[in-house]
Structure 1
């Protein structure tokens, strides 16, 4: 197995196209065609993690956070980022980051938090725009069903809990082939009229290469007429944060005790208790202050996240309980999620959970 094959498997879980524009995801160090000796999964790639990879004979580190976030103009070992990159290159170790691609996955960071807290009916808190596209194409009626089936198989036409979704219109198409053409129907130099079907079908942008391959491989025309639009629709299955319900309402104090136990948290920074029961819970791993209004909009009783600033706690306004449990703490189970996923996909391959401590924050 080579690195690219592993990365293709990871992209099924968290397509890189779903990462935020500011982020730096994907293969950051190494060559995609290198054979893999072992995979080490970590939250952060620090020098001790690279040392661990060396000791475990793992030449691919799958890291949640990217070690290279902004551009490197030189690599001299002057800081921890440069030292990590130098050591990884020196020992032939590749580094791959998933970060906000996994944040936006409905099976990613926030789904794991919902699982740990046993939240029911979990849904995306901030659905993402720009991830749904629509393909329109025109094909002879006799070939329409074959193309539909191929597009479905490539991943098009999936909307929520429904598959094989499309819309078709029948009409008359026309064209005239020039002397260099090789028309499937009609004669060179003559205008040909054909009863055609217009197929309209939506798909997620991460599947675009597969969709277009299916279109070209199953269309009889020499020149395939098609249009692609990016829709403004919100994708209810991709986006930041999630929210769900507790099996039964709990007091604020009891729920905080559960958070401490299940999330391995020693202290919680929070807004003022209101005295009302907690039933609906919103979560967002990592820095989530931007989602306070979204949590309030879905009428969540509590919003669990991290990195809240002093004045942001005022935004609770007595309508929601804000709970900052720590950046590392909200994302700590992400590496377990990745290891479990890879182990199921490639069960006979060496996938290791990093034992290196990477949380930079200590508590006294």
Structure 2
């Protein structure tokens, strides 16, 4: 029997990957048109919500469009259906198509757009270019009977607890004795109702970001044999992972500017780029910002980038970059279309694992507005 996911559930999967709290202040992410309270038989992932993209969604009987660039970026004072924007809104509403935007939250999240771009550029030893958010860390202490110590420890690590630097499944254990009296109505794993029980237990401690707390606690309870699991959570002052806009990393081998330009064109499948030459030395350290890179010239300079690959640079900012000795490759905003395939694959996997038959497709419409002649 077919089972379509509710729109709110589809978005909950997306937001578990790219939480709304990661978005840059003022970014109009989230629900833009329609309702999330309806079943979704088909989702379409798009970079932009243009009229021909909406026509494509109608043709494919799409219920939900998840777009990277918000359709309603600025407030509307009227909806004139004789204009392109008005026609888009009219078509969406008449065809019961919901639009949801995941913009800077999808950029900032740990494995989001800028991480995907840095992987495509074959960068290594990457770090955040411009931090905007620091993850809050918590420590979990859970008391487990010795017989289930390894099972619970493995479940915590598999759920993401205990990741420290390049190490996973980090934890600490100490042994002791737990006491409890099962009351009426209980079905204790050990002991009897009405009798004080004393049993050997292990306290397992592990640290994780608060963003995965629900998943970690769920995994812990599933692996734990007790009806009532005794555990403590402590907020930590330790510094968590930094998240933010852009990535900076190193090429595996140095390239001349001309070689690197060809590399960029090849990996993104584009025929032309704009180049601002700030120097003539070899390229080793690369910064990348998929969208508007104008605010990130100086962070790239401060972090020692030889080149900034981005989607949009203004004329006067190009002069500033040259003066700072920074080379820039403006590859066009459209390189962010990398998100279509990545997000499609992620949502397909999550929905399939939960036995939903909601389909996920990519928009095939080319929304690049520039033609080089």
TM-score by length of 2: 0.74
Structure 2 residue 212 is the aligned partner of structure 1 residue 207: yes
Aligned residues of 1:139 and 1:219 also touching (Cα < 8 A): no
What residue number does 2:194 align with?
none
Aligned residues of 2:275 and 2:327 also touching (Cα < 8 A): no
In structure 2, which of residues 220, 241, 248 is the aligned counterpart of residue 243 of structure 1? 248
Seen in structure 2, the aligned counterparts of structure 1 residues 258 and 156 have a Cα distance that, compared at 3 Å, is closer
Moved more, 133-142 or 330-339: 133-142
Structure 2 residue 100 is the aligned partner of structure 1 residue 96: yes
SS at match of 1:355: coil
Superposed CA offset, 1:229-259 (max 9, x none) = 26562526x4432233334322213322443
User: Quick one: distance in 2 between partners of 1:46 and 1:229?
Assistant: 44
User: Quick one: distance in 2 between partners of 1:358 and 1:204?
Assistant: 37
Report how far residue 24 of structure 1 moved: 3.5
User: Quick one: distance in 2 between partners of 1:198 and 1:335?
Assistant: 44
User: Quick one: distance in 2 between partners of 1:70 and 1:199?
Assistant: 50
User: Quick one: distance in 2 between partners of 1:81 and 1:231?
Assistant: 47
What residue number does 2:66 align with?
62
Aligned residues of 2:278 and 2:323 also touching (Cα < 8 A): no
Aligned residues of 1:125 and 1:295 also touching (Cα < 8 A): no
Unaligned runs of 5+ in 2: 192-196
Superposed CA offset, 1:300-324 (max 9, x none) = 2111113334146424545431233
Structure 2 residue 275 is the aligned partner of structure 1 residue 266: no
In structure 2, which of residues 128, 132, 137 is the aligned counterpart of residue 133 of structure 1? 137
User: Quick one: distance in 1 between partners of 2:21 and 2:82?
Assistant: 32
Aligned residues of 1:130 and 1:231 also touching (Cα < 8 A): no
In structure 1, which of residues 334, 358, 361 is the aligned counterpart of residue 367 of structure 2? 358
In structure 1, which of residues 38, 56, 65 is the aligned counterpart of residue 42 of structure 2? 38
In structure 2, which of residues 124, 130, 133 is the aligned counterpart of residue 121 of structure 1? 124
Superposition RMSD in Å: 4.4
User: Quick one: distance in 1 between partners of 2:158 and 2:120?
Assistant: 34
User: Quick one: distance in 2 between partners of 1:355 and 1:225?
Assistant: 49
Seen in structure 2, the aligned counterparts of structure 1 residues 125 and 145 have a Cα distance that, compared at 3 Å, is same
User: Quick one: distance in 1 between partners of 2:178 and 2:325?
Assistant: 58
SS at match of 1:134: strand
Report how far residue 215 of structure 1 moved: 5.6
Structure 2 residue 330 is the aligned partner of structure 1 residue 324: yes
Unaligned runs of 5+ in 1: 187-191
Report how far residue 286 of structure 1 moved: 0.3
Moved more, 261-270 or 37-46: 261-270
